[in-house]
Amino acid sequence: MASRPGTCRQTVRSRMSRSPKLIIAATALATLAGSVAFAGGPGEKTEAKIDVKAPQRFNIGRAPSAEEIRGWDIDVRPDGQGLPVGKGTVAQGEKLFMDNCASCHGEFGEGAGRWPVLAGGKGSLTSDNPVKTVGSYWPYASTLFDYVRHAMPFGSPQSLKVDEYYALVAYVLYLNDVITDQNFELSNSNLATIKMPNEGGFIMDDRATSEKAFWQKDPCMKNCIAPVKITGRATAVDVTPEEKDGKPRGVE
């Protein structure tokens, strides 16, 4: 029994609508035909243009304002670049330290519980028990200012005024005998001139020159070292513990 033409075409369209593969193939052919037509007819030396789609945006959040960026762009370099205008004395910093820092770091920077020690440790870096504090280890006073301003007081960073941060840093330096005058006023004009005891313990990264002799254009990938040779065994050199009966003692 023959089918009517209209019924046959309807059946084909129905199958195509249910077949993802056929839909994908049809879409690809249509895209290819469009690209060829866009590129120009035979004999025309025109290049096909590729439609570069804009990156997908999810419309979440917003771009930060200049003022917001300025609030976090507060890093300070060792030469003092980035320091905000301000000043504070050691005496002013002592009260601020007691109110905001002593509960964790101790009244004299000795550390409370397991909180970091800030003062002391002078000359201990080469010992068996080095104590890394601001005075014994940190290379620059600007590092101290940068960190304190970014992260302290704990739980409420950047909650103090610029002058108060200068005063706090001055007091921490005083605890480490870097500053010896209680009336000393630390400011953006003199902070970079302060020399820390361990500044000479740090060097610039010189691997580009000091390790250049070890660089190889074609690194070794096979038989790079001599085979390992066993020169002695524990039983031969008599280092295995033994019981009184002479038998080797196993793992207990």
pLDDT tens profile 110-148: 999 999 999 999 999 999 999 999 999 999 999 999 999
Radius of gyration, alpha carbons of the chain: 36
The overall pTM is greater than 0.85: no
pLDDT at residue 66 is higher than 60: yes
b vs e for 190-212, b when ≥16 Cβ sit within 10 Å of the residue's Cβ? ebbebebbbeeeeeeeeeeeeee
pLDDT at residue 164 is higher than 90: yes
pLDDT at residue 9 is higher than 50: no
Give, in degrees to the nearest 5, the angle at Cα 49 between 47 and 55: 155
b vs e for 104-120, b when ≥16 Cβ sit within 10 Å of the residue's Cβ? bbbeebebeeeeebbbb
Find where tokens 């301003």 sit.
Answer: 149
Mean pLDDT of 171-176: 98
